[in-house]
Amino acid sequence: MLSYPSAMTVSTRALTTVTDLLRRHRTQRGTRWRKLTAGRQALLVVAYLRKGETYTDLAGGFGIGTSTVYRYLREAIALLAATAPTLAQAIEIAARKAFVILDGTLLRIDRVGMTGGRDRPYYSGKHKCHGVNVQVIADPAGRVVWISPTLPGARHDMGAAREHGIIDALDAAGVTAIADTAYQGGGPAVRVPQRRRRVDPDTGRYRPLSRSQKEVNTAHARQRGPGERVNAELKNWRILRKIRSCPTRAADLVAAVQTLMIAST
């Protein structure tokens, strides 16, 4: 098997975060010896999450077996996922911001049961593919505040936000959230763009927005821009571009990546 040097655009703080978690975990368990040190195991985990490397490629590069790669990854991802902030902790941070950006995104998956209609909850009619829905809260500077657990991809953004308790939590804390029209009806805490006016009974067409309404929408879109950057950064972790594991494990992958994204800021 051939190997070659490579590089990753990942903060050193992210690698240090994984290494520290693994060292503490090994100390608590009283682990005497392992094939890889905590630092090397952390590098393996970051390479898997950032570059989406397969178990076989990682096993060849690190000189271990594929079953060992599987155990190392499961262990580290569980530790990272357990470290991810809760919604309550995220709202405490959001309360110190002028506002936050709320947006949903779809993460594609390929390991979905197709028999008996089991895939239907995961099929997004908007994106024409199977995936899972995650809700992302970002601050005005484009830094991640919180990423929700996964829900089936057919779930509407507004329904997903309500199911996670995001809308109620924002309203109770008095935090203003900037969102797109998918969150129409989110109450006073959620600000959405101006929608087209009702149909003109004389012409049968939608009445155009006024000039001032268009200006408001333009300013609103500028405020939502940093949230789009967070979604893009989330998908820079290639393991999330097309999740190859079972949908039930997708939540741990997202939570692990969230921990590393926060550690990098």
Q: pLDDT at position 112, please? A: 75
Structure tokens belonging to residue 17: 């975060």
Q: pLDDT at position 118, please? A: 78
Each residue's pLDDT tens digit, 59-79: 999 999 999 999 999 999 999
> Cα separation of 61 and 167, whole Å?
45
Which pairing describes strands 190-191 and 151-152: parallel, antiparallel, or unpaired?
Answer: unpaired
Percent of the chain clearing pLDDT 90 (strictly above)? 75
pLDDT at 190 over 90: yes
Helix 38-51 / helix 250-264 crossing angle, nearest 10 deg: 110
Each residue's pLDDT tens digit, 125-182: 888 999 999 999 999 999 999 999 999 999 999 999 999 999 999 999 999 999 999 9
Task: Tell me if 36 sits within 8 A of 44, measured CB to CB.
Answer: yes
Q: How confident is the model at residue 254 (pLDDT cuts 50, 70, 90)?
A: very high
Please report the DSSP string for 69-87 in residue order. HHHHHHHHHHHHHHHSPPH
pLDDT at 210 over 70: yes
HSE-CB at 249 with a 13 A cutoff on CA atoms is 14
